[in-house]
Amino acid sequence: MKMTAGDAAEARAAGWTDEALYDAVTVVALFRFFNTWCDSAGVRPMTAEAHALSGKRIAGEGYAWKG
């Protein structure tokens, strides 16, 4: 799926700035890259338990590794 000039025009008419469009396209592109890489590398989805543990760790320690 590609964003067209018409899509951008509609977004601008709805109040989106060029910066907001750029940010949105960048986020979508990064997720596409990460998903393609994970699929190609055989990365497996996390279990519900692993998600819960990760959430607790992030809530307590934040995202940055403090090694």
Q: Per residue in 35-58, pLDDT tens? A: 999 999 999 999 999 999 999 999
pLDDT at residue 7, rounded to an integer: 96
What residues contact residue 39 under an 8 Å CB cut-off, 6+ apart?
none
What the block records as the tokens of 5 is 């000039």
What the block records as the tokens of 17 is 């700035």
Going from the C-alpha of 55 to that of each of 9, 12, 28, 58, 61, the distances in angstroms are 38, 36, 23, 5, 10
pLDDT at residue 63, rounded to an integer: 86
Which H or E element spans position 44? Answer: none
pLDDT at residue 65, rounded to an integer: 78
Domain ranges of the chain: 5-61
